[in-house]
Structure 1
Amino acid sequence: MKLKPNFSRGAVLVLTIIFLITAVTFEIFELSSLPAQFFGTLLGVVITAIITVLLLQGQTKSEESRERNLMVFEKKQEIFFHFLTQLNTILQKEELTLHLSHDKTLEREVNSLQDLLFEFGFLQMHTSTETFDRILVCVGNLMEESKKIKQIENKKEQDFELYYQVLATDFFAIVSLLKLELYQTAPTAIDKNQLDRIIRLSF
């Protein structure tokens, strides 16, 4: 195993010497100018090697940066989608109180609010301060309207229509904010008239 590298090096050295002797013998190179040509060639090899190393280092850093950005993008997608799903689940809960009642356990009652707070933590890690604050406002609006509609005993179509209009407005505002964070593109405007029409037709 060790003989092969040594043999290769020896063969390269012997061939180099034979090449130099042949070049001088047949006057391809003049003996007096051979050292200058040798060092010139060696300098060119060294410069080429340095440039190659610098290019490879730059390419490696670029690939590492691209892979890291891809991983962050995929993680953001996962967290944003999970947040929207969790928000939907929480809005459908009857109560998010921290007080125990007779027919509920502590785990069932606190878990939804606790999950929401943790989702906020994950969200804050992957969004700007401005975006996060605006999302908090929208979530506050959604939870306030959700609480209002649940407290109305004899709900009318107008109550539901108002609730779903607020729900649609703030939910799509959150989606637009997350889209901006994720894809760095300006949020597209939602046709509110068509959205209100769909809500009215649902009753």
Structure 2
Amino acid sequence: MKIKSNLSRAAVLILTIIFLITAVTFEIFELSSLPAQFFGTLLGVVITAIITVLLLQGQTKSEESRERNLMVFEKKQEVFFHFLTQLNTILQKEKLTLHLSHDKTLEREVHSLQDLLFEFGFLQMHTSSETFNQILVCVGNLMDESKKIKHIEEKTEHDFEVYYKVLATDFFAIVSLLKLELYNAAPESIDKKQLDRIIRLSF
């Protein structure tokens, strides 16, 4: 192995010498300018190599950043969609238990207050503090209105209409906040008149 390596080096050296002799003999290069041309070429090779390395490093970092951003986006999407689904579950429950339930079948199924706090924890990891605080306000409004409607013994259409208007307003506010976090798109106002009309026609 060592002999082959030495032979390769010797071959390269011999070919280089032959090239230089040929270049001088046939006046491809002038002997006086040969060192300058040699060092100029060598410098060009070194600069080219450095630029190539820097470009490759930049490309690698760019690809790593793109992959990381994609993974973060997908995780945010998963957390946000799951939170909205669980929010619907929370609002439909009569009440949340104070402790963990032994009847849970899903790892992140919301049964207790502790489950709800963990859901908020997942959400906070992927949102800004401002967005998270606004979502807390909206969820508080929804839970408050849900509690009110559940405690009314003889519910009227007006009670349900008020409840669903609050539900629609705060739920879509949460969706807009999550949309802003996920897609960095400015929230667009929904047509509340049409939404209220749909709610009224549902009774």
TM-score computed with the length of structure 1 as normaliser: 0.89
Structure 1 window deviating more from structure 2 (14-23 vs 171-180): it is 14-23
Aligned residue pairs: how many? Answer: 198
- Corresponding residue for residue 77 of structure 1: 77
Inter-CA distance 151–26: structure 2 relative to 1 (3 Å threshold): same
Q: Is the 8 A contact 1:131 1:177 kept in 2?
A: yes
Per-residue displacement from partner, 1:65-109 (whole Å, max 9, x unpaired)?
11111111111101000100111111110112428xxxxx95459
- Corresponding residue for residue 195 of structure 2: 195
- Superposition pairs of residues 81-100 of structure 1, within 5 angstroms: 81-98=81-98
Distance (whole Å) between structure 2 residues aligned to residue 81 and residue 4 of structure 1: 63
Distance (whole Å) between structure 2 residues aligned to residue 5 and residue 72 of structure 1: 49
Q: Is the 8 A contact 2:97 2:112 kept in 1?
A: no
The letter of the residue matching 2:79 is I
Per-residue displacement from partner, 1:23-82 (whole Å, max 9, x unpaired)?
111111122221111111101111111111111111111111111111111111010001
Distance (whole Å) between structure 1 residues aligned to residue 128 and residue 33 of structure 2: 66
- Corresponding residue for residue 22 of structure 2: 22
Per-residue displacement from partner, 1:154-187 (whole Å, max 9, x unpaired)?
1111111111110000000000000001111100
TM-score computed with the length of structure 2 as normaliser: 0.89
Q: Is the 8 A contact 1:90 1:112 kept in 2?
A: no
Q: Is the 8 A contact 1:179 1:187 kept in 2?
A: yes
- Corresponding residue for residue 66 of structure 1: 66
Inter-CA distance 10–73: structure 2 relative to 1 (3 Å threshold): farther
Distance (whole Å) between structure 1 residues aligned to residue 172 and residue 3 of structure 2: 71
Distance (whole Å) between structure 2 residues aligned to residue 120 and residue 3 of structure 1: 68
The letter of the residue matching 2:66 is R
Unpaired segments of 5 or more residues in structure 2? 105-109
Per-residue displacement from partner, 1:104-136 (whole Å, max 9, x unpaired)?
x95459833222111100111111111110000
The letter of the residue matching 1:22 is T
The answer to whether residue 53 in structure 2 is matched with residue 53 in structure 1 is yes
1:13 deviates by 3.4
- Corresponding residue for residue 181 of structure 2: 181
Distance (whole Å) between structure 2 residues aligned to residue 129 and residue 56 of structure 1: 37
Distance (whole Å) between structure 1 residues aligned to residue 92 and residue 165 of structure 2: 16
Per-residue displacement from partner, 1:132-154 (whole Å, max 9, x unpaired)?
10000000000001001110111
RMSD of aligned alpha carbons? 2.2
Inter-CA distance 161–44: structure 2 relative to 1 (3 Å threshold): same
1:10 deviates by 4.5
Distance (whole Å) between structure 2 residues aligned to residue 58 and residue 92 of structure 1: 51
The letter of the residue matching 1:156 is T
Distance (whole Å) between structure 2 residues aligned to residue 138 and residue 6 of structure 1: 76
The letter of the residue matching 1:117 is L
Distance (whole Å) between structure 1 residues aligned to residue 92 and residue 191 of structure 2: 25
- Corresponding residue for residue 128 of structure 2: 128
The letter of the residue matching 2:69 is N
